[in-house]
Amino acid sequence: MTRQQFLQQTAMAGAAVLLSSLEGFAISTESKKIRVAVIGCGSVSGSYLPHLTASKFVEVVSLCDIIEERAISRAKEFNVAHHYKHIDQMLAGVPFDMMITLTDMQEHGRLNKQALEAGKHVWSEKPMANSYKEGRELLDFAQSKNLRIWGAPAVVNSPQFAFMSKAIREGKLGRVASAHAHYGHTGPLWSSFFYEKLGGSLPDLGVYNIATLTGLLGPARSVMAMTTIVTPERTIDDKGKIKVVAEDNTQLIMEHDGGVLSNVQCGFNFFDPHGHQGKSEDSQTIQIWGTHGNMALAGYDWAPHGVDMVTHDHEQPQRFVPDPAGYVWQQGASVISESLVNGTEPLIAAEHALHVLEIIEASRKSGKNGKKVYLKSTFKFPVV
């Protein structure tokens, strides 16, 4: 049995166990709506809550934020009946099925564990934990309690991702050899956690590209990386000048099966005329090369505008799937809620999020010691 066959067999076995738990939850869900509680009412909630409150599979029952005014404001804005200042109050308050974690990334592991201990499913913004070990323990604990935990990003849901995956599997590019992805801007200024320990451009930005490339090319076998700090001080809105501790500039190389290499560059020092939102970005941010052709994603993988492809048989560039067909980066929790109601397995997988988390951790390790780091995690592949 080859390594790839072993990894796929292991991942599929785990998926079968998880699917059975989803089916069981669907049978017991009488209302056909998932009651969700959102913790973290900052900027990201402004994108999540419109999508959640519009979903026929979701009932937002409570909001929570350590800055109580933010929870109160969001509750009024989206007509949510209950709001809390602390997770303990929320867990003891109005009943719910799934917690959606939108807080500072350094708090995700702790909060997600507390929700699982209270018997709640979890959808977490990236990353789902602050280390691979912590994330693995969360997933194992969830499985032991017949619960589910998932982690952003939701890039595998886009029709552009599906097109690229199918093109690779059908051999449209010949033998795939290499890929490149990049994502960056000049850095957020509304909170300091991006620049503090366990923050950085890797878990905030690089996470998207890593999820996309591993989703298209398969689990990475090893990683080499360089990480630096280009801007040692930042001026944050509510704190003034701070020292930057986490990496704000990264380049990493992943080795996939079959000799395929992929590269990701990300950082908080990239000028982009489209700014942090970047939704109107139409340039190519992900490229994949093979012996018979190449293709590139127009726009970011979290806001794609199409796939440009040239092949030996058609050397003039063609653009495919220009329509995102309802895909948006903030749809993960809504899609998961639909899966919970219907008892169907989503494309988004916790094992994939864990693999991405291990790559982020390995990149930091490689950046410090200058050595290749071998990986042990995997996920069910192909995704689509």
pLDDT tens by residue, 327-354? 999 999 999 999 999 999 999 999 999 9
pLDDT of residue 20: 52
Q: Say which residue the tokens 């500072």 belong to.
A: 104
Within the chain, all domains assigned CATH 3.30.360.10 are found at: 157-331+355-374
User: Could you confirm whether domain 157-331+355-374 is CATH 3.30.470.20?
Assistant: no
The pLDDT confidence band at residue 6, using thresholds 50, 70 and 90, is very low
For domain 3-154, give the fold.
Rossmann fold (3.40.50)
pLDDT of residue 27: 46
pLDDT of residue 135: 98
Distances 140 to 14, 48, 283 between C-alpha atoms, Å? 11, 27, 40
DSSP 197: T
pLDDT of residue 241: 97
Q: Which of 274, 287, 280, 319 is nearest to 303 (CA)?
A: 280
Residue length of the chain? 384
Residues 319-329: what's their mean pLDDT?
96
The pLDDT confidence band at residue 282, using thresholds 50, 70 and 90, is confident
pLDDT of residue 281: 80
pLDDT tens by residue, 45-54? 999 999 999 9
Residues 158-176: what's their mean pLDDT?
98
> Which residues are bridge partners to 266 per DSSP?
183, 250
Residues 5-31: what's their mean pLDDT?
54
Residues 50-66: what's their mean pLDDT?
98
- Is the pLDDT at 18 greater than 80? The verdict is no
pLDDT of residue 54: 97
pLDDT of residue 272: 82
Non-local CB neighbours of 33 within 8 Å, separated by 6+ positions: 56, 57, 58, 59, 337, 341
pLDDT of residue 275: 67
- 215 in Cβ contact with 352 (< 8 Å): yes
Within a 10 A sphere around the Cβ of 131, how many other Cβ atoms? 15
Q: Residues of 306-328 as b/e, b for ≥16 C-beta within 10 angstroms?
A: bbbbebeeeeeeeeebeebeebb
User: Treating both helix axes as pointing N-terminal to C-terminal, what angle do 132-144 and 108-117 enclose, rounded to 10 degrees?
Assistant: 10
First-to-final CA distance of the chain = 23
Greater pLDDT, 6 or 273: 273
Mean pLDDT over the full length of the chain = 93
Q: Which of 187, 204, 214 is nearest to 329 (CA)?
A: 204
pLDDT of residue 274: 73
- Is the pLDDT at 10 greater than 70? The verdict is no
Amino acid at 72: I
The pLDDT confidence band at residue 8, using thresholds 50, 70 and 90, is low
- Is the pLDDT at 3 greater than 60? The verdict is no
Within a 10 A sphere around the Cβ of 6, how many other Cβ atoms? 11
Rounded-to-integer distance, Cα 58 and Cα 123, Å? 13
Quote the pTM value: 0.92
pLDDT of residue 208: 98
Within the chain, all domains assigned CATH 3.40.50.720 are found at: 3-154
- Is the pLDDT at 31 greater than 80? The verdict is no
Share of the chain above pLDDT 90, in %: 88
- Is the pLDDT at 24 greater than 80? The verdict is no
- 101 in Cβ contact with 111 (< 8 Å): yes
Q: Which of 153, 124, 170, 104 is nearest to 311 (CA)?
A: 170
Q: Checking DSSP bridges between strand 233-236 and strand 220-228, what pairing results, if any?
A: unpaired
Amino acid at 361: E
pLDDT of residue 230: 98
Q: How buried is residue 2: exposed, middle or buried, by Cβ count under 10 Å (0-12/13-18/19+)?
A: exposed
Of 24-28, 51-55, 362-366, 376-380, the range with the lowest mean pLDDT is 24-28
